[in-house]
Amino acid sequence: MDIFETIGSLAKRRGFIYPGSDIYGGLAGTWDYGPLGVELKRNLKNEYWRSMVQLRDDVVGLDAAIIMNPKVWEASGHLESFSDPLVECKKCHHRFRADQVGQKCPDCGGEFTEPKTFNLMVETYLGVIEGEKLKTYLRGEITQGVHVNFKNVLDSTRVKLPFGVAQIGKAFRNEITPGGLTFRSREFEQMENQFYVKPELESSMQWMEYWKNERMKWYLSLGLRKENLHFKDHEQLAHYARAACDIEYNANGEWKEMEGIHHRGDWDVRRHQEYSKQDMTYFDEETKERYLPWIIETSGGVDRATLFFLMDAYREEETKPGETRVVLKLHPKLAPFKAAVFPLLQNKPELVALAQSIYKDLKQDWMIAWDARGNIGKRYRAQDEAGTPFCFTVDFDSLEKKDVTVRDRDTMEQTRVKITDLRDFLKKKLA
């Protein structure tokens, strides 16, 4: 089975990701995150925020509106250029990006129409009176929400160049060929840092290198396998860009973009200065000069990264001859549940009571799963598939010795840990 199908079926069965509006037959390019998926995705975003904003002195956060004044999109160039040439099959009427197909339709072998241009911006209307509604757009990228606030951030904080503004949020695109699960969606989340630097070639290129390496390190630190990641320099640059590179993930032999690192020159601030007629320059107190800063952007997809973390963590392992287990070896920081607590037997009130007290205590600080059904082997398998790194089982010895069996997801090894040490155990494992 193709890796996208394998992950898609696990994701639906276990509640990571469901097709959007599923009971109505879905809506192409939309997805819903289930009880496990919402935790995984939130953990990823929290790790992003922690590394990008909390731990840094030179990056601040922002959360801009999804709907913006339509002039923003004129200034950014999206209304002009945010469009892909498409071809349509004359027989089955399926549409494809002209740059992605050959002479004949891959679905039915039919002939194509001439390429046509479609705008990717999702339109929406504000106001209640028909005929007087303002036509605007759901943002096609979260980037512009940062650049239009460049002056606000300068005036309300004590930032000095070089500094960044990070943001996580939804973006919308009328993608022509959504697919590959969440890989190409019409509604998706981005995590970005727009890093403003002095307009100097050499030092700005050094920042570009710096951010490429920082972003790669971040993915590696959360457990993506090194052999499945690489940098891919863009052969064709956007007209305003000075350099551009993607971090790509190897999805079973196919390299796919996960995050872009782009040197945008002063494009965004210059255009907003021109269109808004507001001064967007920065006053450099050291050199007493005014200038437009240059921008190094890191722009990652939250949904793409979540999908690739799932793919990378997915293993089918032979536990005994003829017996395999499915396990998600997610980094403990990303795992939806940090631990599961079980009473060995459901019908022994003293085991259930002790296990419940451990469960309720740990739940104050972490997402903890509870399971008392069926045999213990099945419960381990269920937690393996959910990516839960540890299972704590309360058995008869626990009543006397005040300890539990700790079973490790990856090694399947079992050890005994004192109940009073469980908090420290988890803290250490999650550090």
Return the closest-CA partner of residue 240 out of 120, 77, 84: 77
Q: Which residues bind ligand ATP (CB under 6 A)?
A: 141, 173, 175, 184-185, 188, 190, 257-260, 299-301, 303-304
300 in Cβ contact with 358 (< 8 Å)? no
Could you tell me the smallest distance in angstroms from the CB atom of residue 142 to ligand ATP?
9
When the beta carbons of 175 and 312 are compared against ligand ATP, the nearer one is 175
How far from 229 is each of 11, 115, 307, 375, CA to CA, in Å? Answer: 23, 33, 14, 39
- The DSSP letter of residue 7 is H
Could you tell me the smallest distance in angstroms from the CB atom of residue 22 to ligand ATP?
19
When the beta carbons of 255 and 370 are compared against ligand ATP, the nearer one is 255
Could you tell me the smallest distance in angstroms from the CB atom of residue 219 to ligand ATP?
12
Residue 393's Cβ-side half-sphere holds a number of Cα atoms within 13 Å equal to 21
When the beta carbons of 40 and 362 are compared against ligand ATP, the nearer one is 40
When the beta carbons of 14 and 186 are compared against ligand ATP, the nearer one is 186
Residue 118 exposed, middle or buried by CB count within 10 Å (0-12, 13-18, 19+): middle
How far from 111 is each of 81, 173, 234, 317, 406, CA to CA, in Å? Answer: 27, 27, 31, 45, 61
Q: What is the dihedral of CA 73, 171, 150, 55, to 10 degrees?
A: -170
Using CB atoms, what's the residue nearest to ligand ATP? 301
Could you tell me the smallest distance in angstroms from the CB atom of residue 57 to ligand ATP?
26
Across 36-59, b (16+ Cβ under 10 Å) vs e yields bbebbbbbbbebbbebbbeeeeeb
Could you tell me the smallest distance in angstroms from the CB atom of residue 234 to ligand ATP?
9
Q: Which two tokens stand for residue 136?
A: 């605007």
Span between the terminal Cα atoms of the chain, in Å: 36
Could you tell me the smallest distance in angstroms from the CB atom of residue 31 to ligand ATP?
10
Residue 381 exposed, middle or buried by CB count within 10 Å (0-12, 13-18, 19+): middle
When the beta carbons of 188 and 267 are compared against ligand ATP, the nearer one is 188
Could you tell me the smallest distance in angstroms from the CB atom of residue 324 to ligand ATP?
32
When the beta carbons of 61 and 180 are compared against ligand ATP, the nearer one is 180
When the beta carbons of 110 and 180 are compared against ligand ATP, the nearer one is 180
